[in-house]
Every structure is written in C-alpha cells, then in structure tokens.
A and B are shown apart, each in its own frame.
Chain A
Amino acid sequence: MAAYIVRRVLLALMLLAVLSVAVFVLFNMLPGDPARLTCGKACTPDLIAANRHRLGYDQPVLTQYTNFVSGIFVGRVFSADSPKPIQCNAPCLGYSFNQHEQVMTLITRAAPVTFWLAIGAFILWIFIGVTVGIFAALRRGRWQDRIIMGVSLAGYSLPSFFFGLLLVFFVIIKWKWLPFPSYVSPFVDPVKFLQTMILPWIVLAILYAAFYMRLTRNQVLEVLNDDYVRTARAKGLPERTVVVKHALRAGLTPIVTAAGLDLAGLLGGAIISEDIFSLPGLGALSVDSITNSDLPLITGITLLTAALIIFANLVVDLLYAVVDPRVRLA
C-alpha cells in the first residue's frame, strides 16, 4: 500500500511539472506581445520596451520559465532595477500588469467564493443525487422510478444559465423573496451569505444531481444483479443489509471517482453560475483575465485548476485503493 501511495504521488508531481511547461509554453507562443498589452492607449515604443524589461519578457523563454518556477518556491522581484521594485513572495504565480496586483492575491481573494459555491452545491447534489438514485433503483420500473428518471433527464438537459436566469427573474426580481446577490464571507454575515448562495447552489446542484441520480441508479441496478448480492441473499441476510452492506458498498465506489473529479473541476471556477449571480469567484476571474488578455493571470488560474484536478485524481485513486482491495495489487 505504501509503495502504491508513493508511486501515485510521484506520478502526480511529474504530471504537474509537465503540465506547467505545457501551459507556460502555450501561453508564451500566443501571438501578440504581452508587453504591448501593459499600457493600452498610453503606449509608446519606449514604454513598451521598459515594461517588457520590467516584467522579464525580454528574457529567453527558458529563463522566463525558470524564473516563474523559482517564483513559486522562493518568490521573485519584478522590475528589480527600477525605483519601485515589486516584491512577489512565494508562492508567486506572477504579476497581473492589467489589474496591477499579484496573481496570487487575486486568486486568494476569489478562491473562497468559489470554494463555498462548490462545496455547498457538492453536498446538495451528492445528497440528492445518490439518495434519489438509490430510491429509483429500488423502485425500478414503477411510477416513482419513471418520474424520477423523467425529471432527471429534464434537469440534465436544461442549460444551467437558463435555469439560473429563471430563478433570478422569479425569485429575486419578480417575487422579491431574496435580495440581489452580493457576496459576503459566511464569517462576516452568515444570513446574507446564505441568501446569496442558495440560488447558485440550487442551480449547480440540479445540473449535477440529475446526472448523479442516473449514475447511481444504473450502478445500483447493475450491482443488485451481481452474483455476490445473490450470495448475500442466499445467506439469509435481511434485505436491508443486502442492499446497504453488499450492494451499495460495491455500487457506489465508482461514484466516488466521478464526485471527486467533478468537485475538483468546480473548484476551478463555475463560470456561468458565478457570472449570473455576480459572484466574484475564480470563474469570474478567469472570464476577466481572458477578456483582458491578462496572460499572467490566465496562466496562474489554468495551473491552479490543473493542479486541483491532478490532486483530486490522486485522492480518488488513493480512496479507491482503500475501498477496493483489488486495486492495491495493481
């Protein structure tokens, strides 16, 4: 088991390194001059050249990359030879010349919003998706199952912006049940926090819950037909034990995988929901950085999201080994 963990962790780190190169190279190959973007209308050839030097874009790509990587571990200083050097402490993901702030600062400001959004939606959708999915499987073919499957198909097919906009229109604008969303930290004003988050949670959860209902139902149905479930019944176990201990234990493990990866993807930012509900999370930050061609910020967010997914993959793999003894051999 220990060897398995070490191997998985090393693999994840290698993957991350390869990925950072790929992201860095990709964004530096893009047409357009990043230094040109730093000053907009005020640009003069001298200013562009000065900014290029300040931000290190005059260095060879390899040097830029090593500077970037060493910045993550030990920090770095931008425009060191100018009168106003910018100190970027480790972990330094770069400096957004567009927002005049360090990428890390921008990300740490936006990340909690996305974190709460993702976690709340995750809890909601896992709870609803898995319980309703199990219920549908146990009522297979009867009216309850048919209704659930119909509703989930609708939920899965509706685009989340459509449902989100409907909710905003009715709940907030027409019926005025909730105030206009404006994010505050749950530690500052929990009531306002909940008022703001409840709709985005519902919108995200409906989309995912619909998918998880179908996934869970199919898993459970498949497992209920497995030979070892028949064995469990043949032993004389009560039906409850057969379903919970024998069928669900085996049937729900693949859902762990899907859930881990979905959560990680969502932690990287939920672009549409954040936009509809004006939440200043990572999704909104990504959109901003792309519309402004803010290269350092795009690079930073992309790397962070990728790292999250790699990390989630690792956690899911390790969890799987805990749950399924057969995996430990592999």
Chain B
Amino acid sequence: MRQPDIARQTEKSAEEPYLSVHDLVVKFPSEDGVVNAVEGVSFSVARGKTLAVVGESGSGKSVTALAIMGLINRKSATVKGEVWLDGQELVDSNDNQVRKLRGSKMAMIFQDPMSSLHPFYRVGAQLGEAARVHRKISKAAARAEAIEMLSRVGIPAPKRRVDDYPHQLSGGMRQRVMIAMALINSPALLIADEPTTALDVTVQAQILDLIAKLQSEFNTAVILITHDLGIVADVADDVAVMYAGRVVESAPTSKLYGNPEMPYTLGLLSSIPRMDRERTDRLDPIPGNPPSPLRHPSGCVFHPRCKYKEMVPNNACAEVRPDLLEAEPAHFVRCHLPVETRKKIASEALNVSGGGATLGGTVSAAAAAAAAAASVQ
C-alpha cells in the first residue's frame, strides 16, 4: 500500500506547487548512533501561499529547511527523498546546481539576526554580494539595489544605513536586513526559520507583517518554521505539524485549528492559554518529552505520550507505524484512532468551557494570549 502523497494531491488542484517535498529523509551518523533527524517528510507549497511547519525543538523542522536549501553537508549526513523546486529535483542535483538556486530561486532567513550577519562587512556590501553572486551587475547597481531593498523592508534612512555595520543596528533592523538580503533576487520560495523567535513581541508582529507584505508583492511561496501556534493562525494558509522527524498532521489552517485530529496537535493547541476558558483551569501540557532522535519509539512515535493509545485495539499504537492518511480532503493525519473517535476527542478537549468557541475566536484569542504571555516575560 502506498502512502498517500500530499504533494501529488495538491498537484491535482489548479495551483501547481512551486516546491514539493516527497519522503525526505535526513540522517546524521554520530558517535552515539544514527540521528534520524527527518524521516519521510512530504509537503508542498504553491507561489503566494504560506505553509507553516510547526513542532517542538528537535522535531526536524530546521533540518528539513536546511535540506531543501541544500545546506546539509552531504559528507557528514545522508539526505534521501525528493525535493522538487520549480520542476527541478534538488536532492540528486550536484552541489553547484543547487548553489546557483540558493539565493536566487529560494532563500532563507534564520532565527538569530544578531549572529547571522557577518560582523566585519557593511550591510550594503553583504546585500550587494547576494545580488552579485547571481546576476552580472556592477557594484554601483548592486549598491543601489541594496538601498532600494533596505527601504522596502522599512529601514529608515536607507542611504545612510547601507554603510552601517551590523552591530550598529538593532535586532529587528538586522532581521529586516536579513529579509532584504533574502529577497534581493526576488526568489519564488522563502524559508523563514523561526524569524521572530529572537525578537521582542512588538517587533515580531512587524516582521511577520513585513514578510506577508513582501510575499504578496513578490508572489512568493513561504515556508514559515515556528513553534508559536499564535503566529501560525494569523499568517499561514496551510499547517504541517511535525513530531520526531515526521509530519503527523497537515491541513489548511482553519481546518487544523477547528478540527485537529492527531492527539499531538490537540495537545499543542490545548497548551496555549485561552481567553475563553476559566482562569482557574490549569494549562494542559503534553506529558513527557519528545523522543531522542537516536531512538524513535516503535509504532506511532507519539504513543509514549499519548493519552488515547488505550482506545486502539491490539496495542497497535506501540507496534504499527501509522501512515499519513487523508482523513478529509486536504486534511492528512498520522494516527491509528478511528476518525470518528478523533473528532469526538477533539471537540471535547477544545470546548471544555462549553462556549463552543468558533475558530476565529479561538485562534485570535490564542494568539493574543500568547503575545500577552510573552510580553510579560
């Protein structure tokens, strides 16, 4: 039986996905054994759309992104599967072909803008360099483009700032510079790996707005990697939830928030503080810790932490690896529980206060609460 393939599904629809990832596997040999960072990830993104990849630390989100970009050192790691970018397969392409796509067709911004810019070179030089690797333009033209991009990402006085060194800019400014650098060649795919994690809450919103604005300008496909479900609800079209190197659930954002089916997704959503719940309720964390990538559990990788595994007969959760199956159109779930049971569990868990919160209410309340919680810290 072949595992259903999200990418193929989306291909049938009107939009041709710009990026599709099939069965991506990344393994790092280490002294303690093989680290199975990514084990069979599949998803796709179309131009102009945003896919959020959500998961805990160590779930394989960043490694997936680096593998797409060809930034995994193939000498010290194994990468298998297929990555199709605009009709070209990248995993089997040679390093130089992939390098030429990096920064031109696909670009990436990183978590920590404080350390992601070179401390010794002026901002303008770093931006210009990004343009000149891929296009034959003069230094003066590259500088003019750098100034133009700085102004587009909302940096005041770009003509002056272009000659600044990174240490002269604030964190938010530096992330803007990183975004400018990523977009200077108008790539059709932008991967943002936790772009706001290192920033203040107020700046986070600005950066996300900026990415959304530029996305509509450039018609870019965006992969937003994050662990912040509050962010996802606001900006993503689709969500893929990752756990232990796999996609465990993926769906359009509204569907995932309104009707999560995988107990892990449910756990993530229940652990967000919500405005429409009694304040006396304690947050409901997922018990236990994510598994070590050195030894993933047998059966369903989530079963040691799953409250509902007893509901599946024959101890299947501990013994049989579930496939990512299409529960409803465009909604894929990796879980042994019968669909009806999953729906029942989810509606009970999300409506404890009996308020029957609508999707919009839940989502924005969750986002607001998350932001409020973060700003207190």
Instruction: Give me the interface of A with B, judged by CB distance under 8 Å.
Output: 226-228, 230-239, 246, 249-250, 323-326, 329
Contacts and interface: CB of A to CB of B under 8 A. Distances in A.
Nearest to B114: A227
Interface of B: 69, 71, 95, 99-104, 107-108, 110, 112, 115-120, 129-130, 133-134, 165, 167, 178, 181-182
A249 B120 contact: yes
Given A230-B110, A236-B104, A325 B120 contact: yes
10 contacts: A231-B110, A231-B181, A233-B102, A234-B110, A235-B103, A236-B134, A237-B103, A323-B120, A324-B119, A325-B120
Contacts of A226: 115
A230 B120 contact: no
A230 B117 CA distance: 10
A254 B107 CA distance: 32
A194 B100 CA distance: 50
B103 A236 contact: yes
A206 B181 CA distance: 44
A230 B71 CA distance: 8
A230 B116 contact: yes
Contacts of A236: 99-104, 130, 133-134
Given A228-B119, A234-B107, 16 more contacts: A227-B110, A228-B118, A230-B110, A231-B116, A234-B108, A235-B103, A235-B129, A235-B130, A236-B101, A236-B133, A236-B134, A237-B99, A238-B99, A239-B95, A250-B118, A324-B119
Given A235-B133, A235-B181, A227 B116 contact: yes
A226 B166 CA distance: 15
A234 B71 contact: yes
A58 B182 CA distance: 77
Contacts of B104: 236
A250 B119 contact: yes
Contacts, number: 70
A233 B118 contact: no
Nearest to A246: B118
Contacts of B110: 227, 230-231, 234
Nearest to B66: A230
A234 B103 contact: yes
A233 B74 CA distance: 14
A239 B167 CA distance: 25
Contact of A326 (B108, B115, B119): B119
Contacts of A323: 120
B115 A250 contact: no
A237 B71 CA distance: 12
A246 B103 CA distance: 16
Contact of B118 (A231, A234, A238, A329): A231
A325 B167 contact: yes
A196 B260 CA distance: 82
A247 B110 CA distance: 18
Contact of B117 (A228, A238, A324): A228
A231 B99 contact: no
Contact of A234 (B102, B112, B115, B167): B102
Nearest to B178: A231
